[in-house]
Homo-oligomer: A and B are copies of this chain.
Amino acid sequence: MNNSSNSRREFMKTTAIVGGAVALGGVNLFGANASNALSKPTQNKPIKCKGWAAFDTSGVLKPYEFERRAVGKNDILIEIKFASICHSDIHQIKGDWGKQIYPQVPGHEIVGIVTQVGENVKNFKVGDRAGVGCMVDNFEGVRGDEQYDKNTLFTYGFVDKREPTGISQGGYSTHIVVNSHFAIKIPTNISFEEAVPLLCAGVTTYSPLMKYQIKKGDKVGVAGIGGLGHIAIKLAVSKGAKVYAFTTSKDKVADIKGFGASEVIVIEDALKNTQALDAYKGKLDYMISTIPVQFDVASYVSCVKPFGTFTQVGMSAKFELTLSNFGLAQSRVNLTASLIGDMKETQEVMDYCAKNKIYPKIEVIEAKEINKAWQKVLEKKARYRYVIDSASI
């Protein structure tokens, strides 16, 4: 235990003592239509936090002290225990998906203990184990398919005038304030460390696997075996599917078989050298790709049987996907993309994994190792999810 985490605990003492919620009310931050649905501050004390933030597009994070908005009547405050690292964190912070506001604290896989609840909150009480994924609020109170609603506030980097820093700030941090609808319960039969990657990597793969109803005996392809892909394999295997795993990392083969894949196909280069896919043309019932960079989409898609479905969940720089529409036509496959999952599915995947002992393969790191870990993610060296111990922030 180092000094910074000691001082963090001191800091915790100061903030955690805040008790009952007092409505400030009256301030309409998002226009007339939005006012009812929003969590207005219930006490006038912003929450002091520590975190690791980016200050520019360099992709280098540094310690950062900041404040979060006070806990509103529909909000809960979570003392974060662990947050994990998603490739998306790197893309967004580096500006791959558009210009960012800095300082910005990334992190959308978050677990911890509820330390305060707003007066309207019914689904959480102080002391509960809670998780937060990619979303923290919806300005219009939309429920269901939240990830597709334009009024949904994503976990970091999104403008939120209620926030002292002007934007939502993510989970590489000591605390988070979140509308209680956007938090899920973490069952007691799964550890915090193993639960945390399910908040994005888990639900992002679970949602399309369920939507396309993979079933016992189906031949399911999983392309890109990192944080998301390795969970996709475990989920598909748990449903009785025969999994074909496509990876560009030879040294992952043994691991991947350990996750339950029936076949592991090593692809030389996912963009330019995909000949190994030819043998699987038209063979699979369904395929999911977690590849978060440009790749030879049509060749991967062609592994699916005509009229089957291929789902892209990895998000590349600029969200750009370039494909041969001749190749797509020849495959006769439905190309779909999918964005995380909604809150109901997030709770579902958490409960399903806890019940079925489906655990991500993780490596717990201290906050000071974040920059090194990001580098390893980019070098495809993560095995398979880095989980930051928030006590080290």
- Residues of chain A touching chain B, judged by Cβ–Cβ distance below 8 Å, are 97, 148, 306, 309, 312-313, 315-316, 318-330, 332-339
Contact = CB atoms under 8 A, between A and B. Distances in A.
A334 B336 contact: yes
A172 to B, nearest CB: 23
Contacts of A339: 326, 329-330
A328 B324 contact: no
A326 B336 contact: no
Given A332-B148, A338-B329, A320 B319 contact: no
A312 B325 contact: yes
A302 to B, nearest CB: 11
A341 to B, nearest CB: 11
B325 A322 contact: no
B321 A325 contact: yes
Contacts of A315: 325-326
Contacts of A319: 324-327
A335 B332 contact: no
Given A319-B325, A322-B322, A325-B315, A334 B334 contact: yes
A316 B335 CA distance: 18
A332 B323 CA distance: 18
Given A320-B322, A325-B337, A332-B338, 20 more contacts: A309-B334, A312-B325, A312-B328, A313-B329, A316-B325, A319-B324, A319-B326, A320-B324, A320-B325, A321-B322, A321-B323, A322-B322, A322-B323, A326-B339, A328-B335, A329-B338, A330-B339, A332-B336, A333-B336, A334-B336
Contact of A330 (B148, B321, B322, B329): B148
A320 B326 CA distance: 8
Contacts of A320: 322-325
A312 to B, nearest CB: 5
A335 B327 CA distance: 13
A95 to B, nearest CB: 15
Nearest to A334: B334
Contacts of A330: 148, 339
Contacts of A148: 306, 330, 332
A-B residue pairs, 9 tightest by C-beta: A329-B337, A319-B326, A329-B339, A334-B334, A328-B337, A321-B325, A335-B335, A325-B337, A322-B322
Contacts of A309: 334
Contacts of A338: 329, 332
A293 to B, nearest CB: 12
